[in-house]
């Protein structure tokens, strides 16, 4: 298989744990800073994960306000703290989040398997400082939006997936198989198998899948809740992910075709790759129209939409 072009690091590099210490960040803060593009990484020449060059460490440490300024850019808050930043009630903040006005950046499941969403504090401060957003923080929610909320509208998981895809595509550094794996990671494996019927190509995607923190043991109730968040379930979202995956895989085939064994050669049998096994536990979702990208379009939309799943949130 042809090698994909990736940047070559110059000088010594550090593993994530060491780089986090050098930058005075907790590991979670470091990982989020990388995903947001605040810390540039390079591929590990030994085939491991991403690393940080000494030059990048020096660049960040030389910036004004280090390390407090860097920490501030990755500070996250839960619903209660977010509401305090915006000077509104936790209930109003949750309604804004369900409407897609504010977008979560991370989540975890507490011991009750309730979803705990976290938001970037920096984004919330910018939101509060924008005059156009003032009407959203005071007064009654418009009738049409109240009806949608009553019907179960909740865009938090979908908006998280959109943001997650942006993170993964940035980490792919333009490598087509890595880009394809980023798209595949948000689809049920059954959809991936339809788009990529070749088992060798699915194995290639599996090797390129981004490493993520597990949420519970495989097949557990906790893992199934996490799957409902991390897997696209709405028909329009699935449709454009499938289309993008098909296009990206075609590009990867053209630019970096897989190395195939010679005809007649004996190769050991391999277990089916993970992407060939459909996930379980995700409930059936009714077809829903795609939301417009613009904020005002989302808020003033005339039609109604029933959310596929209402997440229980720990405040």
User: Which of 202, 166, 150, 187 minimizes the C-alpha distance to 306?
Assistant: 150
Measure the CA–CA gap between 282 and 226, rounded to whole angstroms: 10
**Where is pLDDT greater, at 250 or 171?**
250
Place of tokens 């993970």: 274
Q: 3-state DSSP call for residue 115?
A: strand
Band (263; pLDDT cuts 50, 70, 90): low
pLDDT the model gives residue 15: 94
pLDDT the model gives residue 221: 82
Q: How many residues in total does the chain contain?
A: 315
Alpha-carbon separation of residue 186 from 164, 189, 234 (angstroms): 9, 9, 12
Alpha-carbon separation of residue 203 from 100, 147, 167, 242, 256 (angstroms): 35, 45, 22, 18, 15
What's the mean per-residue pLDDT of the chain?
82
Angle at CA of residue 82, ends 76 and 86, nearest 5°: 130
| pLDDT tens-digit readout, 156-213 | 999 999 999 999 999 888 889 999 999 999 999 999 999 999 999 999 998 887 666 6
Mean pLDDT of 75-81: 97
pLDDT over threshold 50, residue 5: no
Burial grade of 214 (CB within 10 A; 0-12, 13-18, 19 or more): exposed
In the chain, where the domains are located: 20-73, 76-155+292-299, 167-260+269-276
Place of tokens 């959203």: 136
pLDDT over threshold 70, residue 261: no
- Is residue 117 within 8 Å of residue 97, measured between CB atoms? yes
| pLDDT tens-digit readout, 83-108 | 999 999 999 999 999 999 999 999 99
Measure the CA–CA gap between 211 and 183, rounded to whole angstroms: 14
pLDDT over threshold 60, residue 287: no
**Where is pLDDT greater, at 183 or 262?**
183
Band (262; pLDDT cuts 50, 70, 90): low
Band (277; pLDDT cuts 50, 70, 90): very low
- Is residue 68 within 8 Å of residue 77, measured between CB atoms? no
| pLDDT tens-digit readout, 7-49 | 454 579 999 999 999 999 999 999 999 999 999 998 877 666 7
User: Which of 182, 212, 197 minimizes the C-alpha distance to 273?
Assistant: 197
Q: What is the largest CA-CA distance in the chain?
A: 74
pLDDT the model gives residue 28: 93
Token representation of residue 189: 């494996």
Query: Could you please report the per-residue DSSP string of 177-188?
Result: HHHHHHHHTTS-
Measure the CA–CA gap between 193 and 276, rounded to whole angstroms: 6
């Amino acid at each position: 298989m042809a090698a994909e072009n990736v940047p070559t690091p110059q000088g010594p590099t550090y593993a994530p744990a060491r780089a986090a210490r050098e930058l005075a960040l907790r590991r979670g803060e470091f990982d989020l800073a990388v995903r947001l593009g605040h810390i540039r990484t390079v591929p590990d020449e030994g085939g491991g994960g991403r690393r940080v060059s000494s030059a990048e460490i020096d660049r960040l440490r030389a910036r004004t306000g280090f390390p407090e300024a860097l920490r501030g850019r990755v500070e996250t808050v839960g619903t209660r703290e977010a509401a305090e930043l915006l000077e509104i009630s936790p209930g109003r903040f949750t309604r804004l989040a369900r409407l897609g006005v504010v977008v979560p950046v991370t989540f975890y499941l507490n011991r009750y398997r309730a979803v705990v969403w976290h938001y970037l504090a920096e984004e919330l401060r910018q939101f509060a400082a924008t005059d156009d957003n003032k009407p959203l923080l005071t007064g009654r929610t418009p009738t049409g939006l109240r009806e949608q909320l009553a019907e179960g509208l909740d865009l938090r998981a979908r908006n998280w997936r959109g943001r997650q895809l942006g993170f993964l595509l940035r980490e792919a550094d333009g490598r087509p198989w890595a880009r394809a794996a980023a798209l595949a990671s948000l689809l049920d494996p059954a959809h991936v198998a339809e788009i990529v019927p070749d088992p060798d190509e699915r194995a290639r995607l599996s090797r390129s899948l981004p490493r993520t923190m597990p949420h519970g043991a495989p097949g557990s109730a906790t893992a199934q809740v996490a799957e409902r968040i991390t897997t696209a379930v709405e028909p329009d979202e699935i449709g454009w992910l499938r289309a993008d995956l098909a296009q990206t895989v075609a590009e990867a085939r053209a630019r970096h075709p897989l190395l195939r064994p010679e005809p007649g050669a004996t190769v050991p049998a391999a277990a089916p790759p993970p992407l060939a096994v459909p996930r379980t536990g995700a409930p059936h979702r009714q077809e829903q129209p795609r939301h417009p990208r613009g904020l005002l379009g989302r808020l003033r939309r005339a039609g109604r939409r029933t959310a596929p799943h209402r997440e229980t949130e720990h405040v």
